[in-house]
Amino acid sequence: MADFTILSPTAILGYGFPEDSFQRGLACAPDLIAVDAGSTDPGPYYLGSGKSFTDRNAVRRDLALLLQAAVSGDIPLVIGSAGGAGARPHLEWTVAIVRELARELQLSFRLGIVSADVPRDRALAGLRQGRASALTGVPPLDEAALADSTALVAQMGVEPIQQALSLGCQVVVAGRAYDPAVFAALPMMRGFDPGLALHLGKILECAAIAASPGSGADCALGILEQDRFILRPLSAERCFTPTSVAAHTLYEKSNPYLLPGPGGDLDLRGVTFESAGEGQVAVRGSRFIPAAPYRVKLEGARRVGFRSISIAGVRDPVMIGAIDTILQQVRERVRAMLPGAESDRGLSFHVYGRDGVMGAGEPRREHPAHELGIVIDAVCPTPEAADTLCSLTR
């Protein structure tokens, strides 16, 4: 069986990539161009609101280059988690851009559209049958949360994407998807090892972030072989090293050895990372362990209120030293002036330069910086109430 080459242009569709890196990737005759278009990092707002967290013009620029390369080179193009969160509005938004570009650039191709939306009644039936279990650190799902959800998606595995490809679709735009599935679906159809294909996808979904220096806005190439895969940089500024690839494989993981996904776990206990010369790294030993029953991650969002924010900077050392006391006094004063204004999520302070990122988990909380950035965050049942609460607090 011949090797299978995958070109990953960027970590997220719309984040951009250098055209020279992309052209170097195309010169390697890739069998697939694949890109992840989403993330849960921006939080639930975009899923619930149906808006994309990426800019339309930026997405359009990336898509124009990808579509022209795919069609002219007869290369399959797979896009996952369309529009950022991958619900129907995000999928439709992305497909509209694809259709618009196809008309303008006079491109002809078979388009596959794969939805990830889950009907609320189906999710409710599964919950009542005891088929839903909470992820670590997440409270159990209940009927009230489902009833209040404005959007509900399931993180699809490779199978729906494979179905679209098997129907002859050259361009596949999928809703919410397991990031590696976008890269692994086609090579798995061609008979490549699922463990290697999924592990390669786990790295390529971030494009060149696993290189040194890393970048999510640069291209990377992955080459699947029978017993290993190779990562190749596409910029002279970067190289893959065993350390950089291993570090990326381990980050953001609850368990560094077993990575759960749709239908099973990616087992990395026997993985090795070796230099393959010229800034390349070879990876061996990845295994996929199927699980029964087949489980997928369910993601939902519900409205909790309307937000108003204000940002303040503090450099006075006396105020910084007493910041907790001052914020508590502000909170009490606001409560006295607006009884009930802190109902629902109410008023929060995010103090950057002290613990704005990690909150209570910050180990150096008692050693703040010489200046602080304070985000006043007001959430209320109405926009007017949120603005009032934020204004008084400010």
Q: What is the pLDDT of residue 344?
A: 45
Helices (H), 40-81: 45-49, 56-73
Does the domain at residues 304-393 carry the CATH identifier 3.30.1370? Answer: yes
- Give pLDDT tens digits for 163-175: 999 999 999 999 9
Q: What is the pLDDT of residue 259?
A: 94
Distance CA(394)–CA(376), nearest Å, equals 7
Q: What is the pLDDT of residue 337?
A: 85
| Residue numbers of the chain with a pLDDT score lower than 70 | 340-345
Q: What is the pLDDT of residue 11?
A: 97
Largest Cα–Cα distance in the chain? Answer: 74
Helices (H), the chain: 19-26, 45-49, 56-73, 88-105, 120-128, 143-148, 158-166, 181-189, 194-204, 242-250, 317-321, 323-337, 383-393
- Give pLDDT tens digits for 327-378: 999 988 888 888 765 554 589 999 999 999 999 899 998 888 999 999 999 9
Question: 255 is written with which tokens?
Answer: 């368990």
Q: List residues bridging with 377 in a β-sheet.
A: 309, 348
Q: What is the pLDDT of residue 372?
A: 97
Evaluated on CA atoms 18, 23, 26, 28, the torsion sign reads negative
Distance CA(108)–CA(129), nearest Å, equals 46
Domains of the chain by residue range:
4-299, 304-393
Query: Which letter, b or e, does each residue of 294-312 get, where b requires 16 or more Cβ atoms within 10 Å of its Cβ?
Result: ebbebbbbbeebbebeeee
Residues making up the chain, counted from first to last: 394
258-261 and 264-267 beta bridge pairing: antiparallel
Distance CA(363)–CA(357), nearest Å, equals 12
Question: 313 is written with which tokens?
Answer: 């900077």
Do residues 225 and 3 make contact, with C-beta atoms less than 8 angstroms apart?
yes
